[in-house]
Amino acid sequence: MKTFNYHSAKDVKEASKLASSNSAFLAGGMTTIPSMKLGLASYKDIIDIKRIKKLTGIKVSGKTVTIGATTKHSEVASSKDVKKAIPSLAALAEGIGDPQVRNRGTIGGSIANNDPAADYPSACIALNATIHTNNRSIDAEKFFRGMFETCLKSTEVIETIEFSIPEKSSYQKLPNPASRYAIIGVYVAKHKTGINVGVTGAKSCVYNDKDLAGALTKNFSSSAIDSVKISSSGMNSDIHASSDYRANMVKAFAKKAVDAC
Amino acid sequence: MKKIVVEVNGKKVSKEIQDHTTLSGLLRDILNLTGTHIGCDTSQCGACVVHVDGKSIKSCTALAADLDGSKITTIEGLASNGKLHPMQEAFKKMHGLQCGFCTPGMVMSAVDLLKNKKNPSDQEIRDWLEGNICRCTGYHNIVAAVKEAASKM
C-alpha cells in the first residue's frame, strides 16, 4: 500500500476542510483499504471520520429511520428500533459480507462507494431515502450516478441517511457465495405514496425498476410480476452470471420479495 | 509517523508507526506477535481476525493509527497461566485444524461468537464463520470444535 497522510478529524468541518481531489474519507475502510492495497486507488490524504460522534447512531421518528453515516452494519442489524420500524433494513445489514466486515463497515461508506453490487443502495432507492450531507439533502434517485459514482463533491461529507418507513417491504438477494455481494438484490417497498423496486447487482448502477413497480401498483402480488418482461440489455455479464441469467433472477427475486412482504 | 498507545493482550504498548501501517503489520512486524496470520491481506480469508475492544475484526483491513487507545486481543492472549483457552482445547481435541494457517482467525472468530451466543446451532456457527476460509478441513471438525467449546464454556 502506498503511503498517505492519516488524519483523524474531530468534526465534520475539519474533515471537509482537509479534503481535496486527492483524498478519501475513511469510515469502515472495508473497500478503501483493500483498494489501496491492490493499487486500484491511492490518496495523498486519508481523513478518518470515525471519531466524529454526531455521525453515528440510529433515530426513529414516526415516519422515518435516520442512520448516521458511520453507523456499522452490525449496529443496524442488531438495532431493536430498526428491526421494529423496517425489519427488511435490519435483515439487509445482517446479510452484508461476514461478521467482521459488519463490525467495521458503515452505511455511509457503502453508499458513498456505490459499488454496483452493494446492498444498501437498493435500500436507499426502495425506502425513498434522503442523504443529508454537510451541504445539502439529496434524494436517493439523484444521489447514485453510475458505477462507483455518486453526486458527492470531494469535500462533501455524508452525515445521515433518512429512510421512509414503508407499509411493507422485503429485500431478497442472490449472494455471491464467496463475497456475499449481490449477484442480484431486489428491494421491494410499498409506501402510501407508491411502490419502489430497488435493484442492485444487475446493472452498472442501482436503479428503481419502474416496470415492476408499475405492475405491483396495479396488483401487489407476485403473480403480477409474471407478465413483466425484464430485458437483459444493459445488464452485467461476468463469471458469476450472464446478463440473461441476471434478468431472469431480477424477476425471480422480485417475486420472492413480494411474497415475503 | 504517528504515535499510538494501545493495550495488546493486557499490556500497554506505545509505538511510533507509519500512517499506513495496518493492525496486522503492527502486531506481526513491530510487536512480533506472529500468531495473527496474513492470508489474502484484503479481508476475505479471516486468518488475521483479532479482537478490538471486544469485537472481532480483520486486522489486515484496519489502520493502526485509527486504533489509538484500543484494547486488542490476539491469539497469543487467549491462554492464561500456560493453560489453553477452552476454544483452543476444543480445536485440538476435535481435530479442528490440519495445516493450521487459518486456525488463529477461526479461533478468534469463534470466541467472539460464543460471547454473543452461548449455544449456537451448526448453521449459526457456519454463518458466523462466513468470513474465515479453511483450505484443509472441509469445516466439519471446526464446527464440531466450536460446539465442543460451547459445551465447556
- Is A167 domain-assigned? yes
CATH number, domain containing residue A68: 3.30.465.10
Q: Does B63 contact A46 at a Cβ distance shorter than 8 Å? A: yes
C-alpha distances out from residue A28 to A37, A171, A176, B62, B81, Å: 15, 23, 21, 8, 35
Q: DSSP letter at A165?
A: P
CATH number, domain containing residue B33: 3.10.20.30
Segments in B26-121 forming alpha helices (H) = 86-93, 103-116
Q: Can you read off the three cell numbers belonging to residue A96?
A: 452484508
Task: Please state the separation of Cα A113 from the chain's center in Å.
Answer: 9
Q: Is the same domain home to B90 and B71? A: no
Q: Can you read off the three cell numbers belonging to residue B127?
A: 454463518
Q: Is the same domain home to B93 and B144? A: yes
pLDDT tens sequence across B29-83: 999 999 999 999 999 999 999 999 999 999 999 999 999 999 999 999 999 999 9
Per-residue pLDDT, averaged over A224-233, amounts to 96
Q: Which of B22, B42, B76 is the last residue of a domain?
A: B76
Q: Is the same domain home to B99 and B67? A: no
Q: Is the same domain home to B112 and B67? A: no
Q: Is the same domain home to B104 and B148? A: yes
Q: Does B44 contact A38 at a Cβ distance shorter than 8 Å? A: no
- Say how far apart CA A202 and CA A208 lie, in whole Å: 11
C-alpha distances out from residue A100 to A3, A103, A118, A201, B52, Å: 25, 5, 17, 22, 11
**Which structural domain range is residue A102 located in?**
53-260
CATH number, domain containing residue B104: 1.10.150.120
- Is B129 domain-assigned? yes
Indicate the residue of A4, A100, A180 with minimum beta-carbon distance to B56: A100
Query: Rounded to two decimals, what is the model's pTM?
Result: 0.96
- Is A188 domain-assigned? yes
Q: DSSP letter at B78?
A: T
Q: How confident is the model at residue A214 (pLDDT cuts 50, 70, 90)?
A: very high
Per-residue burial over A142-160, b if 16 or more Cβ lie within 10 Å, else e, is ebbeeeeebebeebbbbbb
Q: Is the same domain home to B63 and B105? A: no
Query: What total number of domains does chain A contain?
Result: 1
Q: Is the same domain home to B92 and B41? A: no
- Enumerate the residues of chain B whose CB falls inside 8 A of the CB of residue A177: none
pLDDT at B105: 98
Query: What total number of domains does chain B contain?
Result: 2
Q: Does A101 contact B46 at a Cβ distance shorter than 8 Å? A: no
Q: Is the same domain home to B111 and B69? A: no
Q: How confident is the model at residue A35 (pLDDT cuts 50, 70, 90)?
A: very high
C-alpha distances out from residue A65 to A199, B43, B138, Å: 21, 30, 41
Q: Is the same domain home to B104 and B144? A: yes
Residue type, A174: L
Distance from CA of B23 to the nearest CA of A (A): 12
Please state, for a pLDDT cut of 70, what percent of chain A lies above it: 100
pLDDT tens sequence across B82-113: 999 999 999 999 999 999 999 999 999 999 99
- Is A5 domain-assigned? no
User: Reduced to 3 states, what is the DSSP secondary structure of residue A116?
Assistant: coil
Most B CBs within 10 A among A1, A46, A98, hence the mutation to make, goes to A98
pLDDT at B153: 87
- Enumerate the residues of chain A whose CB falls inside 8 A of the CB of residue B43: 30, 33-34, 100-101
Tell how strand B49-52 and strand B71-73 pair up: antiparallel
- Is B51 domain-assigned? yes
Q: Is the same domain home to B10 and B59? A: yes
Task: Please state the separation of Cα A91 from the chain's center in Å.
Answer: 13
- Cβ of A39 under 8 Å from any chain B Cβ? no
Tell how strand A45-48 and strand A23-26 pair up: parallel
pLDDT at B90: 98
pLDDT at A150: 98
- Is A159 domain-assigned? yes
- Cβ of A42 under 8 Å from any chain B Cβ? no
Q: Does A100 contact B63 at a Cβ distance shorter than 8 Å? A: no
pLDDT tens sequence across A121-171: 999 999 999 999 999 999 999 999 999 999 999 999 999 999 999 999 999
Q: Which of B54, B76, B98 is the last residue of a domain?
A: B76
Q: Which of B51, B76, B101 is the last residue of a domain?
A: B76
- Is B81 domain-assigned? no
| Dihedral pair phi/psi, residue B94, rounded to 5° | -95, 10
pLDDT tens sequence across A109-124: 999 999 999 999 999 9
Q: Is the same domain home to B90 and B62? A: no
CB-based contact A45:A5 (threshold 8 Å): yes
Residue type, B18: Q
- Is A211 domain-assigned? yes
- Say how far apart CA B17 and CA A76 lie, in whole Å: 33
Residue A89 CB neighbours (<10 A): 29
Q: Report the Cα–Cα distance between both ends of chain A, in Å, rounded.
A: 45
- Is B23 domain-assigned? yes
**Which structural domain range is residue B56 located in?**
2-76
Q: Is the same domain home to B8 and B68? A: yes
Residue B51 makes CB contacts below 8 A (sequence gap 6+) with: B57, B72, B73, B74, B108, B111, B112
C-alpha distances out from residue B132 to A46, A74, A186, B31, Å: 28, 17, 27, 24
- Is A13 domain-assigned? no
- Is A245 domain-assigned? yes
- Is B6 domain-assigned? yes
- Is A203 domain-assigned? yes
Nearest residue on chain B to A179, alpha-carbon basis: B44
| Dihedral pair phi/psi, residue B91, rounded to 5° | -60, -40
